Amino acid sequence: MSCGRGGQDDHYPSPRVFLCCSRTFNSRGGNFPLNASGGGLFLSCGEISGDIYAAGIVRALRSLGYDGPVSGMGGPRASEAGTEIFRDFRELHLMGISDVLPAIPRLLRLRKELVERVFEIRPEALLVIDSPDFHLPFVSSLRKKGWKGPVIYAVTPTVWAWRPGRVKKLARDVDLCLPLFSFEHEFLLRSGVASAWSGHPLTDEFASFIPRKEEPGRIALLPGSRRSEITRLLPPLLECARLLRERGFHPVFSIAPGLSPELRSWMVHALKDEDVWEEDGRSLLSSSIAAAGASGTASVEAMMLGRYMAVLYRGSFLSWLAWKTLVNTRFISIPNIIAGEEVYPEFIQERATGLNAFHALERFLRGGEYACHVRRSLALAKEAMGTTGAFRFWAGRIEEYLSAGETSRKRMVRS
């Protein structure tokens, strides 16, 4: 059965771009006396997706002509882009409340080391990327110790979904937010937080991405990139793989690039009887007819490729209790939030089983009106990702803080 575009040509309004004006002072007062040495950009990211964003930002900065030093906490991609790595981002491979609690002493030591490093090198600006449970306290510690330099937060916390009290910390401690999505941008502006948005970086990556040839019957199984996420999702995905094989499909598991050697070794052993893919997940997605797996970046990439996905989430009891109590959104996956409906079926906690994922995939692969509706909804959601050029846009906003000089800083403000 063929599916029409279903309104795909009814484009969303062009995204608003918020420009800047000069400011001769920081919002916390003074002319940045602690940061007058001009030590370039210090960045911090805490997971694989953050490392990808860091690399994109650094490359875009260089393309704009910025030749100052860039250092901080990152990973192999940020390093390849020219970042001097102070600490490895994989020290923050955590997920959920129960995962954070045992690691608190180590995280406190890491935060202390990063704070000391910032004051040691005195960068012109600080860029933190995602990982709010680490970065919000980190920035707060810097402010309490007298740091008056500009702070830019890329991939901002999901304050629109849960723990909205964090928006006060953003307004107090952060000079500019660079969110991924337009609805986040609008929420931040309504909350009095400086924000700029033109599109999602994935629009750039997919504009130049060359998809693999679609393999008949291939189903991508995506357990994620965080240790706790992987260990909780592998069992139901293995069950789903067995059911798919029984129906003649070809399941392939993704092992995300950038995992620690120990975690990768564990996954290889756990998947010794399965077909695995160790290149980037989007290449696997592009060569597959559908997918099942974690609710994070993979679900957005699946949306960009127009691939159907069954989303699974299994967290600790404490994490799930916090989610049920504090979250203000109906869905856990971004494609569903953008679409305003459950385009991707979401199976959470005890419902995150291989059988449920298999039945969802089977329903879509049968075709019919349901499959057509999914494709139309995915096309509309993809359009809401904004225009290309996000990394260059972000880099331009960051460079304004890096090039403004000792006594004159430019700051993004609301239009």
Give the strand pairing for 176-178 and 151-154: parallel
pLDDT digits (tens, 9 = 90+) for 24-45: 223 343 333 333 345 899 999 9
| pLDDT at res. 103 | 75
Give me the amino acid identity at 207.
A
pLDDT score of 162 = 74
Give the pLDDT confidence score for residue 79 in this predicted structure: 96
Under the banding of pLDDT at 50, 70 and 90, the label for residue 404 is low
How high is the pLDDT of residue 100?
60
Tens digit of each residue's pLDDT (9 = 90 or more) over 239-251: 999 999 999 999 9
- Residues 6+ away with beta carbon under 8 Å from 176: 150, 151, 152, 153, 194, 195, 196, 397, 401, 411, 412
Return the minimum-mean-pLDDT range out of 10-14, 176-180, 315-319.
10-14
Backbone angles phi, psi at 71, to 5 degrees: -145, 170
Kind of pairing, strands 70-74 and 151-154? unpaired
Q: Regarding beta strands 409-412 and 20-23, do their DSSP bridges make them parallel or antiparallel, or are they unpaired?
A: antiparallel
Phi, psi of 398 (to 5 degrees): -70, -40
**Assigned architecture for domain 208-383:** 3-Layer(aba) Sandwich (3.40)
Residue pLDDT, tens place only, 148-195: 999 999 999 988 777 778 999 999 999 999 999 999 999 999 999 999
| β-pair partners for 297 | none
Span 299-325, mean pLDDT? 86
Average pLDDT, the chain: 86
Q: What mean pLDDT is predicted for residues 328-357?
A: 93
Question: Three-class SS string for 208-222?
Answer: CCCCCCCCCCEEEEE
CATH T-level fold of 20-200+387-412: Rossmann fold (3.40.50)
Least confident of 209-218, 298-307, 320-329, 374-383: 320-329
Q: What is the mean pLDDT of residues 87-97?
A: 69
Q: Based on the number of CB atoms within 10 Å of its own CB, is 135 exposed (0-12), middle (13-18) or buried (19 or more)? A: buried
How confident is the model at residue 390, as a pLDDT? 96
The percent of residues above 90 in pLDDT, for the chain, comes to 70
Backbone angles phi, psi at 22, to 5 degrees: -75, 145
> For residue 403, what pLDDT is reported?
73
Residue range(s) of every CATH 3.40.50.2000 domain in the chain: 20-200+387-412, 208-383
Among 59-63, 175-179, 198-202, 317-321, whose mean pLDDT is lowest?
A: 317-321
As a whole-number percent, the residues of the chain with pLDDT over 70 amount to: 84
Return d(Cα 408, Cα 415) in angstroms, integer.
21
Give the pLDDT score at 323.
66
